[in-house]
Structure formats: C-alpha cells, structure tokens
C-alpha cells in the first residue's frame, strides 16, 4: 500500500572532516591491510547495513539514530529513512535492488520501499511475520523475507501480497535471490541451506551443516551459493548440481570461538567472493580455487578497548580493485587492492 505519510527527510549534513580521515593508525593488528579511507555513519554503532551493487550508496540502521542513506563518494548523509514520522525506526535488515533504483528497509514487523532517485518512500507494508532477513529482487518488484515462523516468503513489494511461501523446520536467518528472481536461497536454524525454484516452490538443492545456518549468499547468475553456519564451516557450492566446491578457509580455533562469516557478496561475474567476519576481517577470494587474494583488517573505534566491530555488509566498488565494508561500530571503510 502507499505510505500514509512521507517517511523521507532530506539532509544536508556534511561529514566532519575528522571522520573521513584514514583510520589506519588505530589498527592494532598487522594481519591485514588497513582501509584506504573511512567515514563515520553512526556515532553509537549500527546493527544493519547494505551496500548498493555499484558501491555508490550504503543503507545504515543506526543503533540510536534510525535509518539513513549515505552517498559514499563524498560521505554525504542524503536522507533519514524511518518508518513513522517523528520516530527513529530500529532497522534490522536492508537491501538494494541490483538495477540501482530501489532500496528496502525492514524493522521487525514492517517494510518500506524507497526510491533512490528522490529518497521518497513509495510503499509501506506490514510483514506477514517477524522479519529476520530480507533480500530485494534485482528490479525491486519482490522482496524475499526470512521469518521467525519457520518460513521464507516472496512478497510483492510493489503491489502487496505473498507470491510464494517456502517452508523450513526452524527460523530463517538469511535469504538471497538470483538476479532473475528464479532462484531463492534460505539459511535456517534447522541447519539447512536450501535452494528453491521460485516458480514451483520446490526445493532444488539442500546443503546440511552441523549448526544453524546464519548467512547465505547467491551469485547474480544463480550459479554459485555460499552458506555459513554458527560454529561450523562455510561452504561454496554449485547450485545446479549441489556439488560443494570447497570450504572457505577459517581456522578451527576461530570457529570454536564463534568467529564466522557475517557478510558476503559475489562479484558481478561470479569470479570473486568478498567476505566479512566479526573480528574486523574482510577477505577477497577466488571462487574457482578458493585462494585468498587479499585480506584487510578494519580498525576499532577505540584501539585501547577490547570491543571489536563485526562486518555487517560488504560490496564491490564501481572501479576495479575497490571494495566497501560496513562495520558495526558505525564506520564505512573503502578498501583497495586485490
């Protein structure tokens, strides 16, 4: 349905110069390359984020200041994106359409579709259940929702209504869609990563893990899938055959400490995989060999405190060898190399 009021508030706030300087001097670990530059987007940290397909924008769900859209080339906060006028929404999930026209934000029970042309809210919907994860289709027509009621639903975000329901045996923690919206991927607390045929609603492939599957990613052409589980390995696999290509390397002691992959994105051609972890680590992989091509270590907000910063979202920049990572301590980092 159409939003009952305007949710968009245009901003003209410029990023303080101090927040845009290189934060490499804060880096307390030499295990990876530091970011080339960083901008602050949330003073007290963020709990949700997404990076647009072209690396131009980031949608941020701040812990204390609601939702917002940022233009990354100049660090400009363009809009406040909240679901109710005069209130700051706790955004728990967000995504961009691959065509660069739309963005979706979700709190636990509502969704808003935003136009990237003018920042205006175009559709507002109540969700069919408690939302845990979202994925927006490439053309912004559908949203795949991972729900706490043991289902994932394909929701018509333009006109409203559920087009397809996928049934799991536990909560659906992560979802992904192929660019043509013919394939859906779900990660569930029933330990499964399941590939679905959207037209029929039937499962095509299923990979079982030894713990809750908390993150999945799908290449744009739908040929490759990544599934990562809590206290268990992360697997890269072919969607047509279900054959596992290999395990994305992560030391056993890190898995035992609960360090896993928290964000992932495939390059447009599917040859590269960018991943993020809760220990401020971002890695670039060759999807054919699973060889690590590059590793970055993100800085802490305060180098002298033990608290870290999980990687909430990663993405590829417009130019070659440019990458984006959003950390939970409220910074967006630009990465170069690889």
pLDDT on residue 300: 84
- Whether the pLDDT of residue 296 is over 50: the answer is yes
pLDDT on residue 327: 97
Q: Mark 120-145 as b/e (b = at least 16 C-beta within 10 Å).
A: ebbbbbebbbebbbbbbbbebbbbbb
pTM of the full predicted structure? 0.89
Query: Is position 312 within any domain?
Result: no
Query: Is position 33 within any domain?
Result: no
Q: Long-range contacts: 80-89, Cβ < 8 Å, 24+?
A: 80/8, 80/9, 80/11, 81/7, 81/8, 81/105, 81/112, 81/114, 81/119, 81/121, 82/7, 82/9, 83/7, 83/107, 83/110, 83/112, 83/124, 84/7, 85/5, 85/6, 85/7, 88/62, 88/64
Query: Is position 104 within any domain?
Result: yes
- In terms of Cβ atoms closer than 10 Å to its own Cβ (0-12, 13-18, 19+), residue 65 is middle
Lowest-confidence pick of 146-150, 232-236, 306-310: 306-310
Query: Is position 246 within any domain?
Result: yes
pLDDT on residue 302: 73
Q: How confident is the model at residue 10 (pLDDT cuts 50, 70, 90)?
A: very low
Query: Is position 321 within any domain?
Result: no
pLDDT on residue 163: 97
Query: Is position 335 within any domain?
Result: no
Query: Is position 331 within any domain?
Result: no
**Residues 188, 173 contacting (CB under 8 angstroms):** yes
For position 195, which CATH number holds?
2.130.10.10
Q: Which residue has the higher pLDDT, 321 or 306?
A: 321
What is the distance between the alpha carbons of residues 11 and 149, in angstroms, rounded to a whole number? 37
> What pLDDT, in 10s, does the model give residues 144-189?
999 999 999 999 999 999 999 999 999 999 999 999 999 999 999 9
Q: Which residue has the higher pLDDT, 318 or 185?
A: 185
pLDDT on residue 56: 97
Query: Is position 3 within any domain?
Result: no
What is the distance between the alpha carbons of residues 171 and 179, in angstroms, rounded to a whole number? 24
Q: How far is CA 181 from CA 52, 76, 139, 287, in A?
A: 18, 32, 9, 22
Q: For the chain, how many structural domains are there in total?
A: 1
pLDDT on residue 303: 66
Q: How confident is the model at residue 1 (pLDDT cuts 50, 70, 90)?
A: low
pLDDT on residue 5: 33
Range of the domain at 252: 8-24+38-272+283-294
- Whether the pLDDT of residue 40 is over 80: the answer is yes
> What pLDDT, in 10s, does the model give residues 47-77?
999 999 999 999 999 998 899 999 999 999 9
What is the distance between the alpha carbons of residues 90 and 214, in angstroms, rounded to a whole number? 20
Q: How confident is the model at residue 260 (pLDDT cuts 50, 70, 90)?
A: confident
Q: How confident is the model at residue 80 (pLDDT cuts 50, 70, 90)?
A: very high
Q: How confident is the model at residue 337 (pLDDT cuts 50, 70, 90)?
A: confident
What is the distance between the alpha carbons of residues 92 and 206, in angstroms, rounded to a whole number? 27
pLDDT averaged over the chain? 89
């Amino acid at each position: 349905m159409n939003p009952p009021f305007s949710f968009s508030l245009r901003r003209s706030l410029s990023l303080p110069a101090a927040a845009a300087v290189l934060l490499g001097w804060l880096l307390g670990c030499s295990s990876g390359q530091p970011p080339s530059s960083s901008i602050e987007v949330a003073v007290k940290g963020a709990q949700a984020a997404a990076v647009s397909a072209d690396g131009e924008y980031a949608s941020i769900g701040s812990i204390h200041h609601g939702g917002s859209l940022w233009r990354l080339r100049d660090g400009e906060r363009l809009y406040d994106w909240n679901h109710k006028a005069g209130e700051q929404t706790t955004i728990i999930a967000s995504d961009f359409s691959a065509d660069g026209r739309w963005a979706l934000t979700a709190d636990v029970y509502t969704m808003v579709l935003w136009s990237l042309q003018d920042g205006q809210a175009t559709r507002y919907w109540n969700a069919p259940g408690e939302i845990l994860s979202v994925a927006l289709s490439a053309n912004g027509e559908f949203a795949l929702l991972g729900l706490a009621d043991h289902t994932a639903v394909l929701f018509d975000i333009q006109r409203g209504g559920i087009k397809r329901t996928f049934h799991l045996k536990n909560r659906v923690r992560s979802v992904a869609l192929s660019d043509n919206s013919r394939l859906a991927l779900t990660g569930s607390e029933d330990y499964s990563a399941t590939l679905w045929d959207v037209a029929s609603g039937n499962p095509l492939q299923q990979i079982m893990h030894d713990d809750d599957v908390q993150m999945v990613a799908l290449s744009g052409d739908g040929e490759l899938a990544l599934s990562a589980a809590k206290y268990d390995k992360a697997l890269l696999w072919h969607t047509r055959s279900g054959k596992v290509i290999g395990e994305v390397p992560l030391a056993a002691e890190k898995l035992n400490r609960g360090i896993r992959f928290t964000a992932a994105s495939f390059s447009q051609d599917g040859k590269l995989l960018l991943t993020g972890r809760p220990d401020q680590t971002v890695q670039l992989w060759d999807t054919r060999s699973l060889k690590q091509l590059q590793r970055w270590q993100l800085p802490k907000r305060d180098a002298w405190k033990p608290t870290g910063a999980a990687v909430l979202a990663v993405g590829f920049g417009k130019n070659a060898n440019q990458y984006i990572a959003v950390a939970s301590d409220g910074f967006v980092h630009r990465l170069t190399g690889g």
